[in-house]
Chains A and B, each alone.
Chain A
Amino acid sequence: MKQTILTVTENAPLTSSVYRMRLRGDIGANRPGQFAEVSLPGLFLRRPISVCCAEGDTLTLIYKVVGRGTELMTRLPIGEKLDVLTCLGNGYDLEASAEKPLLVGGGVGVPPLYYLAKELINKGKSVSVVLGFNTRDEIFYENEFASLGCRVTVTTADGSCGIKGFVTDALPEDADYFYACGPLPMLKALYRAADIPGEMSFEERMGCGFGACMGCSMMTRSGAKRVCKDGPVFKKEALLW
Chain B
Amino acid sequence: MVNTKVDLLGITLDNPVIPASGTFGFGYEFAELYDINCLGTFSFKGTTRESRFGNPTPRIAECTAGMINAVGLQNPGVDAVINEELPKLKKVFHKPVMANVSGFSVEDYAYTCALLDREEQVGWLEVNVSCPNVHGGGMSFGTEPDAAAEVTRAVKAVTTKPVIIKLSPNVKDIAAIAKACERAGADGISLINTLLGMRIDLKTGRPVIANTMGGFSGPAIFPVALRMVYQVSKAVGIPVVGMGGVSCAEDVIEMMMAGASAVEVGAANLVDPYASKKIVEALPAAMEKYGINDLNDIIGKAH
Taking Cβ atoms with an 8 Å cutoff, the residues of A that contact B are: 1, 3, 39, 43-46, 68-69, 85, 204-208, 210-219, 224, 229
Contact indicator A45/B274 (Cβ below 8 Å): no
Candidates A68, A211, A216; contact of B25 at CB < 8 Å: A211
A-B contact pairs, 13 of them (CB 8 A): A44-B66, A45-B60, A45-B67, A45-B271, A46-B271, A205-B57, A207-B59, A213-B60, A213-B71, A214-B71, A216-B57, A217-B53, A224-B74
| A205-B57, A224-B53 known; A210-B62 Cβ under 8 A | no
Does B1 count as interface, using CB distance less than 8 angstroms? no
A184 to chain B, nearest CB (A): 11
Contact indicator A210/B29 (Cβ below 8 Å): yes
Compute how far the CA of A205 lies from the CA of B30 in the bound complex, rounded to whole angstroms: 21
A219 surroundings in chain B (CB, below 8 A): 53
Candidates A3, A68, A207, A212; contact of B60 at CB < 8 Å: A207
A216 surroundings in chain B (CB, below 8 A): 57, 59-60
Compute how far the CA of A1 lies from the CA of B273 in the bound complex, rounded to whole angstroms: 10
Compute how far the CA of A206 lies from the CA of B74 in the bound complex, rounded to whole angstroms: 15
B173 to chain A, nearest CB (A): 30
Compute how far the CA of A199 lies from the CA of B270 in the bound complex, rounded to whole angstroms: 28
Compute how far the CA of A45 lies from the CA of B23 in the bound complex, rounded to whole angstroms: 13
Contact indicator A205/B58 (Cβ below 8 Å): yes
Q: Which of B20-64 contact A (CB under 8 A)?
A: 22-25, 29-30, 32-33, 45, 53-54, 57-64
Mark interface residues in B170-193 (1 if CB within 8 Å of A CB, else 0). 000000000000000000000000
Does B269 count as interface, using CB distance less than 8 angstroms? yes
Compute how far the CA of A223 lies from the CA of B256 in the bound complex, rounded to whole angstroms: 41
Compute how far the CA of A1 lies from the CA of B34 in the bound complex, rounded to whole angstroms: 12
B33 surroundings in chain A (CB, below 8 A): 1
Contact indicator A1/B32 (Cβ below 8 Å): yes
B267 surroundings in chain A (CB, below 8 A): 44
Does B69 count as interface, using CB distance less than 8 angstroms? yes
B271 to chain A, nearest CB (A): 6
Which one of A68, A213, A217 has the highest number of Cβ atoms from chain B below 10 Å of its Cβ?
A213
B18 to chain A, nearest CB (A): 15
Compute how far the CA of A66 lies from the CA of B46 in the bound complex, rounded to whole angstroms: 33
Does B284 count as interface, using CB distance less than 8 angstroms? no
| A212-B273, A213-B71, A217-B57 known; A44-B65 Cβ under 8 A | yes
Taking Cβ atoms with an 8 Å cutoff, the residues of B that contact A are: 22-25, 29-30, 32-33, 45, 53-54, 57-67, 69, 71, 74, 208, 218-219, 267, 269-274
Candidates B22, B29, B58, B66; contact of A229 at CB < 8 Å: B29
| A39-B271, A205-B57, A208-B270 known; A215-B71 Cβ under 8 A | yes
A218 surroundings in chain B (CB, below 8 A): 57
Compute how far the CA of A43 lies from the CA of B64 in the bound complex, rounded to whole angstroms: 7
Contact indicator A212/B57 (Cβ below 8 Å): no
Compute how far the CA of A219 lies from the CA of B74 in the bound complex, rounded to whole angstroms: 11
A211 surroundings in chain B (CB, below 8 A): 25, 29
Candidates A44, A45, A210, A213; contact of B22 at CB < 8 Å: A213
B71 surroundings in chain A (CB, below 8 A): 213-215, 217
Contact indicator A207/B69 (Cβ below 8 Å): yes
B273 to chain A, nearest CB (A): 6
B53 surroundings in chain A (CB, below 8 A): 217, 219, 224
Contact indicator A208/B273 (Cβ below 8 Å): yes
Given A207-B69, A211-B29, A218-B57, 12 more A-B residue pairs with CB atoms under 8 Å apart are A1-B32, A1-B33, A3-B273, A44-B66, A44-B67, A44-B219, A44-B267, A45-B62, A85-B273, A210-B273, A224-B74, A229-B29
A229 to chain B, nearest CB (A): 7
Q: What 5 A-B pairs are tightest by C-beta distance, nearest first?
A: A208-B270, A215-B60, A205-B58, A214-B74, A211-B29
Contact indicator B270/A217 (Cβ below 8 Å): no
Contact indicator B270/A207 (Cβ below 8 Å): yes
A44 surroundings in chain B (CB, below 8 A): 62-67, 218-219, 267, 271
Compute how far the CA of A124 lies from the CA of B29 in the bound complex, rounded to whole angstroms: 35
B25 to chain A, nearest CB (A): 5
A81 to chain B, nearest CB (A): 16
Candidates A45, A46, A204; contact of B58 at CB < 8 Å: A204
Compute how far the CA of A214 lies from the CA of B25 in the bound complex, rounded to whole angstroms: 8
Contact indicator A213/B270 (Cβ below 8 Å): yes
Contact indicator A212/B274 (Cβ below 8 Å): no
